[in-house]
Chains A and B, each alone.
Chain A
Amino acid sequence: MQPKPAALKILDLVSLIVLGISTYLALVFAPTELVMGDVQRVFYFHIGTAWTALLGFILAAIFSVVYLIKKDLKWDRLQVAAIEVSLVFFLITIVLGSIWARPAWNTWWTWDPRLTTAAVTELIYVAYFMLRQGIDDPDRRARFGAVYALVGGLSAPITFFAIRLFRTIHPVVIGGTNPEADGGFSMTADMRVAFFFALFAFTIIFIDLFWNRIRLGDLQDRVEQLKLKVSM
């Protein structure tokens, strides 16, 4: 068993601490939004997870390009790790958005451009893992995965810009306004502190999980290689 690097152990601990602080800021420090009430507090985790998930999908597309150029399986492992962690974070984003939508829009789900593109993005990456499961040859699996992740990576910016390009009821809280939006609000100074800290905290948590997942992928590959060696 390979021991965990000290830096990763520290990062695990820091991740737990920043998650705790971010939860405190969201639940206690930030003021209650007057129109929507306490449910608005999920906004900090909703945006934090969305930011890291979309970043992870774009990172995976970059790793795909590097894999296709260098043909080194190390880049494939990085790509898988980035997509897996992002998929989990994006699931949290979607579920939190749905929970927020119920009191704000009076519905759990609506086929609005932002919600639709988000759901499509999530499904694209679920299908990515199904595709990989169906291919045995590691090189072929990595090549197909890289091309798929590269094309799938386009869905991340489309999802991000959906509220800025199309008519939608999803509010644009940062960097713009949407007159059609329902459930928007303007942030106070304390809300901004909680918001930016949540972005920072989820970035740290993402890096930590990403690193742990890369180590798992390395071990998986070594076990596969040893299995082949023993069976010969």
Chain B
Amino acid sequence: MFFQEPTPDTSGYMIAGFAVAFIVMALYVASIYLRRRNLDQDMSMLQELDKPVPPAQTAARQPQKRTPKSGGKKSTKAAARKTRKKY
């Protein structure tokens, strides 16, 4: 017992070891979370692009026919009356 060497202080190495273990695990968990979030964003964007276009939007996208500035039956009749008066 008199010649037994004292236990060395290696607590610094122990702290370094546990720190490394926790940091590596935390980084891996974070990488899974971030990859998942990015893929979810990609997925929702691709689903938007893949959605079938509703007919109303299709019509809106087609080139529109020219209509008279003041459209409707009334304006047509008024224009005809004017023409009759002239001639």
**Contacts from A to B (Cβ < 8 Å):** 1, 23, 26-27, 32-42, 45-46, 49, 85, 88, 91-92, 95-96, 99-100, 102-103, 205, 209, 212-213, 215-216, 219-220, 222-223, 226-227, 229-230
Contact = CB atoms under 8 A, between A and B. Distances in A.
B46 A226 contact: yes
A88 B24 contact: yes
Chain A contact residues: over half helix, strand or loop, or mixed? helix
Contact of B32 (A23, A35, A102, A209): A209
A216 B35 contact: yes
B39 A227 contact: no
B46 A38 contact: no
Contacts, number: 99
A41 B19 CA distance: 13
| 8 tightest Cβ-Cβ pairs between the two chains A and B | A42-B17, A39-B10, A37-B10, A39-B13, A38-B14, A38-B11, A226-B46, A99-B17
Contacts of B49: 230
9 contacts: A38-B11, A39-B17, A92-B20, A92-B25, A209-B28, A216-B35, A216-B36, A222-B43, A226-B46
Contact of A32 (B7, B24, B40): B7
A219 B39 contact: yes
